[in-house]
Each structure stands twice: as structure tokens, then as C-alpha cells.
Amino acid sequence: MRRRIAAGNWKMNMGLEASVELARKVKDFTGIHAHSVDIVVCPTFLSLARTAGELEGSGIAVGAQDCYHESQGAFTGEVNPELIRDAGGSYCIVGHSERRTLMHETDKEVNLKVKSLIGGCIVPIICVGETLAERQALDTMNVVRGQVMRAYAGIEPEAAARTVIAYEPVWAIGTGLNATAQDAQAVCRAIRDTVRYIYDDTTADSVRILYGGSVKADNISDLMSEKDIDGALVGGASLKAAEFGKIIQAIAGMIQ
Ligand code: PEP
């Protein structure tokens, strides 16, 4: 059985004190669920170490929102997996649609980042998803399958099995629109079948697939009742401890 994940992407929000304060509230409200689901919060790089310090011993993990694939050297402004680990991080989001769109991040770069995260013992959360135009052109499955295939190029099955994929339809991120549970399940199923096609049954059945895109306390339960959805990557709603707490509770509550 796959262990479920509730991950919060704090994006470019909150300074040091606000991050530590939110982490403390998440711990107080929901730390009790950390034994049954993986809870992850992803603050900015600047707040990562202090947030990790606040959460030490709670079972709640901290992640980064991006990384650079090179190991060290003259890469001004960049942060590699080793530095993330050193600061207390154990997960890292890669290929978020905001980075793909605003920073023109490519599938090739996503693949390099995934490889370097695996090498640095950080769990990648690999974001994939179609734009509205691609959805309207009935191209969702092709787009998502292609992103998955390219993200895993050259990665061994044992390493791939420990990664996490977040299916985040671009049109649903921060818009208040979200895919129906049935639509999300169909794409998550296609993602799992793509992993099966690249590797084998064991790898496909081990990879954890999250849904992301305007997840809230009132829509998470439907999503979690679907077979191939193993949790959620939550943006806006993860900035409110009470709301994120309800989401975590719903994810934990669906475990049989
Ligand atoms: C995200 O940024 O990954 C996300 C899903 O955002 P939101 O929940 O705000 O749509």
C-alpha cells in the first residue's frame, strides 16, 4: 500500500518569522497525522532551514520549491540538492508549471534536476500537467505522458519508484477551478500506466501520484476516494493552517 502525502507549496510567500509560525501551527494542528501520512511543507529557500528546525522531531518534512542540477561551483544564485539536504530539506518540487511558464524550464532540465535530487537523497515531486489550450485540443494525455517519459529518461527503476509525481492541470492552479475527481483519476491512471510502460508493475505501483490545482478542504475527499490519487500538492490553501489541517485530516482519514 502506498503511503499518502499532503504537501504544501508555500511559493514566494512569507518571511522567516511567518514561515516558522505557520510551521508551528501545522505541527500543532496536524502533527498527530504524521505517523499515517507524509506531511511536507515547502517554504522559500530563505526560510527552509528555520522551518526545518521548527519541525525537527515532529515527523513533518520540509521541501524546497526548486533546485539546480550541478553539484557545486560557479552557478550564481542557484541551490543544489546537497545544500537543500544540509538545510534540513528532504523533498523538492521540480517542473512546477509556474517555473515551466515563467522561467521557461524545459523537460530536459526537469530530468537533470530529478537525477541530481535522486543522487542527493532528496525525494523529487515532479509536476506535470496540461494547459487549458492543450486540454481543449484534447491533448491532455499526450502532453502528460510526454512530460513523464522525459522526466524519467535514464533513471533506474528502483530510484524512480521512490519519486513522487504531482498531476497539476495548469488551468486549475490558483484559479479556483479544479478537475473533477473522475478527470483527475483518469489522468493519474494514465500517468501510472506510463510509469508501467517505462519500467514495470512494481515501479508503477510504488510511485506516488498527487493531484494539485485549487485543492481545498471541501474538494479533497472526493479526490482521495480515487484509486490512483495518493495525496495532494496544495498551494494557496496550504498557507492557512486550519484549512491545510483539514486537508491533511481528509487525506489521513481515507486510509483504510
Ligand atoms: C500549486 O502551486 O502547486 C498549486 C496546486 O496551487 P493552488 O493549490 O493554489 O492551485
The tally of domains found in the chain comes to 1
- Distance between CA atoms of 123 and 240, rounded to whole angstroms? 25
Residue of the CA atom closest to atom 8 of ligand 1: 235
By most ligand atoms within 8 Å of CB, the mutation choice from 94, 173, 210, 238 for ligand 1 is 173
CA distance 89 to 129: 25
94 within some domain? yes
Closest of 189, 100, 117, 129 to residue 160, by C-alpha: 117
Of all protein residues, the one whose alpha carbon is nearest to atom 4 of ligand 1 is 235
> Within a domain: residue 103?
yes
State the pLDDT at residue 33.
Answer: 86
- Work out the burial of residue 252: count CB atoms within 10 Å of its CB; fewer than 13 is exposed, 13-18 middle, 19 or more buried: buried
Domain limits for position 222: 5-251
- Spell out which residues line ligand 1, taking CB within 6 angstroms: 9, 168, 173-174, 212-215, 233-237
**For the domain that residue 173 is a member of, what is the CATH number?**
3.20.20.70
Residue 234 is assigned to a structural domain of this protein:
yes
Q: What is the pLDDT of residues 61-76, one digit of tens each?
A: 999 999 999 999 999 9
pLDDT at 181: 97
| 256 within some domain | no
pTM: 0.96
**Any domain includes 186:** yes
Judge contact between 129 and 213, C-beta under 8 A: yes
Spatial neighbors of 73 by CB under 8 A, at least 6 apart, are none
Atom of ligand 1 nearest to the CA of 215: 8
Residue of the CA atom closest to atom 3 of ligand 1: 235
Q: In this predicted structure, what is the pLDDT of residue 256?
A: 37
Catalytic residue among 54, 96, 98, 105: 96
Per-residue model confidence (pLDDT) at position 209 = 98
Helix, strand, coil distribution of the chain in percent, nearest 5: 50, 15, 35
Q: What is the pLDDT along the chain (256 residues), one digit of tens a residue?
A: 899 999 999 999 999 999 999 999 999 988 788 889 999 999 999 999 999 999 999 999 999 999 999 999 999 999 999 999 999 999 999 999 999 999 999 999 999 999 999 999 999 999 999 999 999 999 999 999 999 999 999 999 999 999 999 999 999 998 988 889 999 999 999 999 999 999 999 999 999 999 999 999 999 999 999 999 999 999 999 999 999 999 999 999 854 3
Note whether residue 14 is domain-resident. Answer: yes
Inside any domain, residue 82: yes
CA 96 to ligand 1: nearest atom: 3
In a domain, residue 111? The reply is yes
